[in-house]
């Protein structure tokens, strides 16, 4: 039998095929869009919900990935036989098909989202916590954009799968592309020619949406964007640390009383008590594993404690009298504790300027114009104005850390916490970060700094605390340290650290 090319070309303008193609496109878009939303919530339940919810989500995914879509389609379409009240909706093949497709695809898309959620660094959650951004704001501004960007290529592939799966909806008499073709070739017996036309219509739909999704993917890929710079005026140039004597107040800003924390059988903090006064710079030093980082993370509740209490500006902040409890105002006041992490924890999908503005905008600290102006001023303080339009991946390690400092400063904190701010930097980049911290000290900022830079700690600190094996083995002012015996543990440790450095 000779292939009928004229018949094939005539199907290009066949109205029923174009109507069916629009139906397939609409069904696919709705299925994919609804599935992306519902799949995210299922993935979220499976990754971060309570145990019972994780089990429910896992069971849903297991069951509907195991169930053939054809069986589900027929079951949903005939469900009114069991529940007559569903007849007005499910008697329509389009709605029955949409519901079956969404129920099935949600299970697959949830696993795609789960992969995206697992790829987000834990530091993003910690940065949101330190900036006082609660769950809804965290997911809307930080987690979802990053997760969607990671998952988008696979989600695009799943859209193509959905387009092809719509052909199964013909079993419940929805007039999609394949059913239109079947009706044609049962009348004229030109099976091959008709199926070629059917294939071409599917290819056309897939091609259009592949291009559209590719365009969205390119738009979301910040690594493709060129670095932007802005002109730095004389008024926005970085200032130098002042040589004026800082004033340390008498009032206690942070008071830690008998703090203890264990991980399994290891005691990380063993009855630590510490007071930090207004305007004071306290450096915490000690060997690796001594509990330094754990100690500073307890102050803003990034790490819970087993015993003891913490006060902030004289008010109850964290206590363990009746279990681990935070102050009622904790989430409003945690923004007064600026936190700078050793791994920066910048938001990679936002520019430097957007990183600085996001938390103040979330907390309603001014109009966008006002926040932008203040963000520029803050960046000027750390010498990063020229890089305001860049993304984090376009910065050096030292530049990233200075942006992280600026982000914390944008919330106008009363205390700055630094968790080994130079440990992730190359030696030649350490100086620029230390100079920025020294500038804050000269401005009278209250600071607690976990550091392994002994010379810097000696120069900048009003008091140096040494941790070892979870205990505080020294708590000395600068003058007391200078008078300490050479054989004292803190003097030996600092000398060894300077020698190895």
Judge if 9 and 145 occupy the same domain: yes
The H-or-E segment that residue 339 falls in is strand 337-340
Tokens 């500006």 sit on residue: 313
Residue 482: band (very low, low, confident or very high) from pLDDT cuts 50, 70, 90: confident
More confident residue, 500 or 7: 7
Average pLDDT over residues 169-174: 88
Query: Is the residue at 83 inside a domain?
Result: yes
Tell me the residue range of the domain where 124 lies: 5-220
Q: Look up residue 85 and give its DSSP letter.
A: G
Q: Which of 299, 288, 287 is nearest to 261 (CA)?
A: 299
- Integer Cα distance of 1 and 7 in angstroms: 14
Judge if 143 and 256 occupy the same domain: no
The CATH number of whichever domain residue 10 belongs to comes to: 1.10.3720.10
The per-residue pLDDT for 114 is 96
The per-residue pLDDT for 32 is 97
In this predicted structure, the answer to whether residue 497 has a pLDDT above a threshold of 90 is no
Judge if 347 and 465 occupy the same domain: yes
Strand 446-450 to 471-477 pairing: unpaired
- The residue out of 185, 220, 255 marking a domain boundary is 220
Average pLDDT over residues 356-367: 94
Judge if 256 and 158 occupy the same domain: no
Encode pLDDT of 112-151 as tens digits.
Answer: 999 999 999 999 999 999 999 999 999 999 999 999 999 9
Encode pLDDT of 11-28 as tens digits.
Answer: 998 999 999 999 999 999
What angle separates helix 93-119 from helix 144-165, to the nearest 10 degrees?
140
Query: Is the residue at 48 inside a domain?
Result: yes
In this predicted structure, the answer to whether residue 247 has a pLDDT above a threshold of 70 is yes
CA dihedral angle for residue 115, residue 120, residue 122, residue 125, rounded to 10 degrees: -120
Judge if 195 and 319 occupy the same domain: no
Judge if 137 and 68 occupy the same domain: yes
Judge if 211 and 252 occupy the same domain: no
Query: Is the residue at 25 inside a domain?
Result: yes
Judge if 205 and 295 occupy the same domain: no
Encode pLDDT of 314-351 as tens digits.
Answer: 899 999 988 999 999 898 899 999 999 989 999 999 99
Judge if 52 and 199 occupy the same domain: yes
In this predicted structure, the answer to whether residue 299 has a pLDDT above a threshold of 70 is yes
Judge if 215 and 342 occupy the same domain: no
The CATH number of whichever domain residue 331 belongs to comes to: 3.40.50.300
- Number of separate domains in the chain: 2
In 325-426, where does DSSP find H-type helix?
A: 330-333, 352-362, 368-381, 397-409
In this predicted structure, the answer to whether residue 310 has a pLDDT above a threshold of 60 is yes
Q: Return all residues near 45 (Cβ < 8 A) that are at least 6 apart.
A: 53, 54, 56, 57
Query: Is the residue at 428 inside a domain?
Result: yes
- Residues 79 and 86 sit within 8 Å (Cβ to Cβ): yes
Read off the pTM.
0.86
Structure tokens at 124: 């993003």
Bridge partner list, 418: 340, 449
In this predicted structure, the answer to whether residue 228 has a pLDDT above a threshold of 80 is no
Average pLDDT over residues 55-70: 96
Start-to-end CA distance of the chain, whole Å, equals: 85
Encode pLDDT of 412-424 as tens digits.
Answer: 999 999 999 888 7
Query: Is the residue at 235 inside a domain?
Result: no
In this predicted structure, the answer to whether residue 244 has a pLDDT above a threshold of 60 is no
- Integer Cα distance of 61 and 66 in angstroms: 8
Judge if 162 and 251 occupy the same domain: no
- Residues 7 and 193 sit within 8 Å (Cβ to Cβ): yes
Query: Is the residue at 469 inside a domain?
Result: yes
The per-residue pLDDT for 345 is 94
Residue 230: band (very low, low, confident or very high) from pLDDT cuts 50, 70, 90: low
Query: Is the residue at 238 inside a domain?
Result: no
Strand 266-277 to 252-263 pairing: antiparallel
Judge if 113 and 256 occupy the same domain: no
- Residues 298 and 261 sit within 8 Å (Cβ to Cβ): yes
Residue 227: band (very low, low, confident or very high) from pLDDT cuts 50, 70, 90: confident
Query: Is the residue at 393 inside a domain?
Result: yes
- Integer Cα distance of 111 and 65 in angstroms: 10
pLDDT-above-70 percentage for the chain: 95
Average pLDDT over residues 201-215: 92
């Amino acid at each position: 039998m000779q292939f009928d090319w004229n018949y094939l070309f005539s199907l290009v303008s066949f109205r029923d095929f174009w109507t069916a193609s629009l139906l397939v496109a609409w069904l696919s878009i709705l299925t994919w869009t609804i599935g992306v939303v519902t799949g995210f919530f299922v993935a979220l339940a499976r990754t971060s919900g309570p145990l019972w919810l994780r089990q429910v989500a896992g069971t849903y995914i297991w069951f509907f990935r195991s169930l053939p879509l054809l069986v589900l389609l027929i079951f949903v379409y005939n469900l009114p036989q069991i529940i007559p009240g569903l007849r007005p909706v499910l008697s329509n093949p389009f709605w029955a098909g949409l519901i079956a497709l969404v129920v099935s695809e949600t299970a697959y898309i949830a696993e795609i989202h789960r992969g995206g959620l697992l790829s987000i660094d834990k530091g993003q959650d910690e940065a949101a916590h330190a900036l006082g951004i609660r769950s809804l704001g965290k997911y809307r501004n930080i987690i979802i954009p990053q997760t969607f960007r990671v998952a988008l290529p696979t989600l695009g592939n799943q859209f193509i799968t959905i387009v092809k799966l719509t052909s199964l909806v013909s079993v419940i008499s929805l007039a999609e592309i394949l059913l239109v073709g079947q009706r044609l070739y049962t009348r004229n017996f030109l099976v091959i020619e008709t199926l070629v036309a059917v294939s071409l219509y599917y290819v056309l739909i897939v091609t259009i949406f592949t291009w559209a999704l590719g365009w969205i993917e390119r738009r979301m890929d910040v690594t493709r964007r060129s670095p932007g710079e802005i002109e730095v005026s004389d008024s926005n140039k970085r200032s130098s640390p002042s040589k004026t004597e800082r004033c340390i107040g008498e009032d206690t800003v942070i008071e830690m009383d008998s703090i203890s924390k264990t991980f399994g059988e290891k005691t990380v903090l063993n009855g630590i008590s510490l007071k930090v006064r207004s305007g004071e710079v306290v450096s915490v030093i000690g060997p690796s594993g001594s509990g330094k980082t754990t100690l500073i993370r307890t102050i803003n509740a990034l790490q819970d404690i087993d015993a003891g209490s913490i006060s902030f500006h004289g008010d109850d902040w964290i206590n363990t009298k009746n279990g681990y409890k935070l102050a009622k105002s904790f989430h409003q006041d945690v923004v007064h504790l600026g936190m700078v992490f050793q791994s920066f924890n910048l938001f990679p999908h936002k520019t430097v300027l957007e990183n600085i503005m996001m938390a103040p905008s979330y907390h309603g600290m001014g109009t966008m114009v006002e926040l932008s102006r203040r963000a520029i001023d803050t960046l000027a303080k750390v010498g990063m104005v020229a890089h305001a339009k860049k993304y984090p991946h376009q910065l050096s390690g030292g530049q990233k850390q200075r942006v992280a400092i600026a982000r914390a400063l944008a919330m106008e904190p009363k205390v700055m916490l630094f968790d080994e701010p130079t440990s992730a930097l190359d030696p030649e980049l350490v100086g620029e970060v230390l100079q920025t911290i020294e500038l804050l000290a000269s401005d009278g900022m209250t600071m607690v700094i976990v550091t392994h830079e002994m010379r810097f700690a000696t120069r900048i600190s009003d008091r140096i605390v040494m941790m070892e094996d979870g205990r505080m083995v020294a708590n000395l002012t600068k003058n007391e340290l200078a008078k300490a015996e050479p054989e004292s543990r803190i003097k030996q440790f600092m000398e060894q650290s300077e020698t190895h450095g």
